[in-house]
Structure 1
Amino acid sequence: MEVVINPSTEQLAALAAGAIDALLRRRPDAVLGLATGSSPLKVYDELTRRHTEEGLSFASARAFMLDEYVGLPLDHPERYRNVIERDLVGRVDLDPAAVRSLDGLAEDLPAACAAYEQAIVDAGGVDVQILGLGTDGHVAFNEPGSSLASRTRIKTLTQQTRLDNARFFGDDVEAVPRHVLTQGLGTVMSAKHLVVLADGRRKAQAVHHLVEGPVTAMWPASVLQLHPHVTVLVDDAAAGRLQLGEYYRQTWAQKPEWQGI
């Protein structure tokens, strides 16, 4: 696990975008893992800039989304399929038909989840997965207590997650759905490169457990310690509880420029 601490969230976003940029220029048909929420927004802004100004193309790429609310109508602005269209897909040349999303309106939700798992396998797996980090340590919608080997399934949101997400629903927590479909922790761990973004003091405890705590279902993101290629990009505030913060800073400062993340 590589931890990069930088006071500038713009620079952190540029590092994440750079990993995707390098992958697509090397393998135009790569498979991307797309997250929603506030954490990846600056990454998508930087990818859009590179597409517009530097010729970065997504035309041959494919993508899978992490999760989706259950029950939101097709035209709801916070349906994650609509969110990713607004934040990235509609701003670059990524074919909407090449973006696979979970169906929160499916009549048979378990079958939809199983089909999604198989679609990821059939695509050869995700090459780079962008991840945010919840204040309680969840990744995707794998809430505390989730099986560390879980696959795509339906989950019930904790009250804390619903409170955190109420800002997207006019600060009305009752408008936030109680159920979601989400890639499982085992599914996320199958991606080849995981890029986790977190900023702000509210994420500091979760970052500490992700990077330095024991691997436990109580802090689901901690399972990422077992992945062979994880990059954690955090600002100073989110890194505030890291015991080895100075070591991470020194390691990054001494890393060869050609190596990338």
Structure 2
Amino acid sequence: MRSLQLYILSGALVLFRTCVALPASDSTYPFSKRSTLCGLNVRTAVAQDCIDNRPPLSFILSGSQTRPTVIRQNSPDGDDIPPGSSCDHAVELQVLEAAIQGSGMCELVAAMNRIRVAPTKQLQGMADVISGPANLLFLASSISNAKESFIINSMASRTITSANDANIAVNAYLQDPLVTSGSLMIARQLDVLLEDLLTDAVQRASLIFPPPPGQRPLSRDEINRQEFKEAVDHVVSLQDRLTVTTLWNKVLHAAVVPC
């Protein structure tokens, strides 16, 4: 009987530590809502995105304090962001950044830059998708503020608990059928652009030939071209490269554990 009591107590303490310690762990994850792509800031102002391309849908906070949820409604008329709301990018830039870093594509971007293919040319199209109208929604600010850490913890496979009530509302927002389907389309579109980038790199690398046996590259440009070709070969050789869709599915399928 005593051993059973100790077992139950230890389980409760584990859950308690998980619920209490969760917020502190956010700072250890290397990506944030304001992260860049491969060290390059290509994102436009958050608020301005929704002013330039007004979202048709708005999600407001509803439910109780301990069981918050969201209600989807048509966005009100006007030129400004509705009071109490924020301009939300359903798939955030940090998800794309994590996928690019995790798939080795940032090394490829850097190598392409050294052969005079500017990172802005390589990455701006993806940033435009993130800031584009299909990825924009108005979201209650209290939910938007909690969404960043929810995504960070989901990508890192951390436990997400109801110790922060806002996690419940974030989960309800992401589970809305229109948000789920629309954001998955965005994630897949970003993966297509990443694949296009790799295809372009492979085509460029195919025009670069190794120096004759026993001869080393003589100029910095020649060295850069050979290093670019090696970077392409490395990325192509990777099995099961991390994708935006893989990470975003982790976010969509994340569960909130009751505390």
Task: Name the TM-score, length of structure 1 as normaliser.
Answer: 0.20
Please identify the structure whose Cα radius of gyration is greater. Answer: 2
Normalised to the residue count of structure 2, the TM-score between the two structures is 0.21
Structure 1 or 2: more helix by fraction: 2
Query: Is the strand fraction higher in 1 or 2?
Result: 1
